[in-house]
Amino acid sequence: MACNTSNTAMLSEIKDLLRHFQFREVLSDDTSSKTIWLLGTIATTNVASVVDEPVVPGHNAAIVVLERLAFSPQTIAKADCSFDSVLLATGERNDVYAWATGDARAAALKPDVRIALIYPATQKHIDKHRRQQRKWVCETPELYAKVTKPFIDSQPTSRIQWVYNILSKQVESEHIVFEDPDPECGFVIVPDLKWDAANTDNMYLVAIVHRHDLRSLRDLTSNHLPLLNNLRSKAAVAAQKYDVSSDQLRLYIHYQPSYYHLHVHITNVMLEGKGMLAGRAHLLDSVIDNISNIASDYYQRATIPYVLGSSDELWSHWTTHQNLSSNEPSATTT
């Protein structure tokens, strides 16, 4: 009962924030995932609507993400999939084939949209979700030491406080799917915010390590193989909760990651997405093999290519470095 009460209060708070959202612009959209990112403000006064209030990052700026949800065969099979109230706008028919657009208004298809909110949104949040040019970077160990590592070192701990809140169970403790509390080889596994936790074909979990000294792929050595192997085996245990077997799992690490605290993405192989593309995703099996069989310090010696957005903070550090040493080829525009 307490959990339901807490959830009701949280939904009421989210609804109230969304009610005060004032749209300013479309940051970007993705037709493949049927997602759109909207920038606006949430009034900082008691007035319900402040139309002309300027967007101030870190203060009143808000990003609303709207995503069309995938159909759930399980839900449709259990519900009355009736189209008695269907509203059609346009359509055609040719022989035995007919198609139309409209609102199905079928209970079995609800809810049909997922709404995410980032508030207050910082400039980094806005830049991350704004449509921008993509840049291809080939990061050598030397360039990592000169450009990327100083950038990572400069990041304030406050940016990943939400990660520490999960690890300490201050928030989302009820969402933890699996935990190994060992301080060296342990981690928590939680559903990723991008997953609706309903369609198992789209299962998306994230394992966040308890160690605070591992920030990215570059930090991993043979000393961390017990952690990586432990995570790989326990991920299969966590996935069993959703009836997803070990041979249906894809585990990978992003480089560059969206936040600098080591975490591993755990998805159903049925799920496809941009986060799994070359230039960002490194399969955990390959990571373990590279360290085990090629070199214990493989990721300190390797050149790692990746993609950055032109508005990314790290890209500005790369351009500064290029300006200082223009004779050193390091990045190109794609």
Alpha-carbon gap, residue 169 to 162, rounded angstroms? 10
Clarify whether 263 is annotated catalytic: yes
Task: Report how far Cα 77 is from the mean position of its chain's Cα atoms.
Answer: 30
The amino acid present at 321, given as its one-letter code, is: H
The amino acid present at 254, given as its one-letter code, is: H
DSSP string, 255-282: SS-SSSS-EEEEEETT---GGGSTTTEE
The amino acid present at 67, given as its one-letter code, is: E
Q: Which of 263, 265, 282, 321 is catalytic?
A: 263
Alpha-carbon gap, residue 25 to 61, rounded angstroms? 12
Alpha-carbon gap, residue 143 to 314, rounded angstroms? 12
Alpha-carbon gap, residue 252 to 281, rounded angstroms? 6
Q: 236 in helix, strand or coil?
A: helix
Alpha-carbon gap, residue 299 to 304, rounded angstroms? 8
CB count within 10 Å of CB 2 equals 6
Alpha-carbon gap, residue 22 to 39, rounded angstroms? 8
Q: 61 in helix, strand or coil?
A: strand
**Among candidate residues 114, 77, 85, 80, the one with its CA nearest the CA of residue 102:** 85
Q: 232 in helix, strand or coil?
A: helix
Bond prior to 120 in cis (omega within 30° of 0): yes
Q: How many residues does the chain have?
A: 334
What residues pair up with 331 in beta bridges, in sequence order? Answer: 137
Residue with tokens 């920030």: 215
Residues with a catalytic annotation lie at: 263
